Amino acid sequence: MLRTNNTVVICAEAEPHTPQAQPAPPAACKNGLMFEPDALFELEQEPAGSTGFAGQAQLPLAELMAPDWAAALSDVDAGLRAVLRFAAGEAAAGHQVLPAPSNVLRAFRQPLAEVKVLIVGQDPYPTPGHAVGLSFSVDPHVRPIPRSLANIYRELEADLGIPPRVHGDLSAWAGQGVLLLNRVMTVRAGSAGSHRRKGWEEITTAAVKALGARRAPDGSPLPLVAVLWGKDAESVRPLLPGVPAVSSAHPSPLSASRGFFGSRPFSRVNALLREQGAAGVTWELPAVP
């Protein structure tokens, strides 16, 4: 949980200084993390009594995610426990692991049977206070929102005329069956991509395959559209045979102008859903989450 504030300091205890010495800048930290003052948020601890990574590695899958996801991911149970133990080891070594343990598997709390859109992200935002366990989404209090998300909002306005929101909470999309799934589900604070090839890819590969394998009682595939932004996301396409996909460049500031802007993903997703007999997504987010 976060509170808006005009001070950003994520540090161990400050170094003492004498009256003759100049105080260290408030963002200089013993643990080496430094954050710019334009990210106006203050971190709070996990709720008392919450289960950490090591504790989660001991819990049955059905206590970590929706029952149908637990069944679908049973074959990678051991791998999931191994990567949670890895995250626990990172935390025990003094590294901040994002998102908080209670949010790491948040995407799988949404029942598998209800998913109709898959939006694939890379790994969580590495800035403390941003990652919430849903790809591209951030805590409602984060200001300013990440630039990739700002570009998503810009394209949403160009596509459907929906004005951008000041907050970055995408949970209203998740509530309509949009699975916001990061390919890698944890990261070391301040180090993007640091938890790649640690075991998460096995878990998310199984999850994507499970989505594509769903069938209605008559044997027909359940409605699904994949949104694949960037090369990392595009790599899951072979896991979804027959599933329509909306692909483009990633919304990152480094690539958005090379094919993301103008791609009209939101209207295209809704058109593909309607072709499959499903209702479209209401992409307009609440003004206040």
Taking only the tens of pLDDT, the chain with its 289 residues reads: 333 333 333 333 333 333 333 333 333 343 333 333 333 333 434 544 578 999 999 999 999 999 999 999 999 999 999 999 999 999 999 999 999 999 999 999 999 999 999 999 999 999 999 999 999 999 999 999 999 999 999 999 999 999 999 999 999 999 999 999 999 999 999 999 999 999 999 999 999 999 999 999 999 999 999 999 999 999 999 999 999 999 999 999 999 999 999 999 999 999 999 999 999 999 999 999 8
| CB-based burial, 19-58: b 16+ in 10 Å, e otherwise | eeeeeeeeeebeeebebeeebbbbbeeeeeeeebbeebbe
Q: How many CB atoms lie within 10 A of CB 1?
A: 13
123 flagged as catalytic:
yes
What's the distance, Cα to Cα, between the start and end of the chain in Å? 14
- pLDDT score at 149: 98
Rounded Cα distance between 11 and 284, Å, is 37
Q: Which of 54, 47, 71, 25 is nearest to 210 (CA)?
A: 71
Q: Which of 204, 240, 195 is nearest to 222 (CA)?
A: 240
pTM (2 d.p.): 0.84
Of the listed 75, 77, 123, 159, which one is catalytic? Answer: 123
Rounded Cα distance between 246 and 268, Å, is 7
> Is residue 178 within 8 Å of residue 273, measured between CB atoms?
no
Look at phi and psi of residue 21 and say left if phi exceeds 0, alpha if psi is from -120 to 50, else beta. Answer: beta
- pLDDT score at 51: 86
- pLDDT score at 289: 86
Does domain 51-275 bear CATH number 1.10.20.10? no
- pLDDT score at 46: 52
Q: Where in the chain is the domain with CATH 3.40.470.10?
A: 51-275
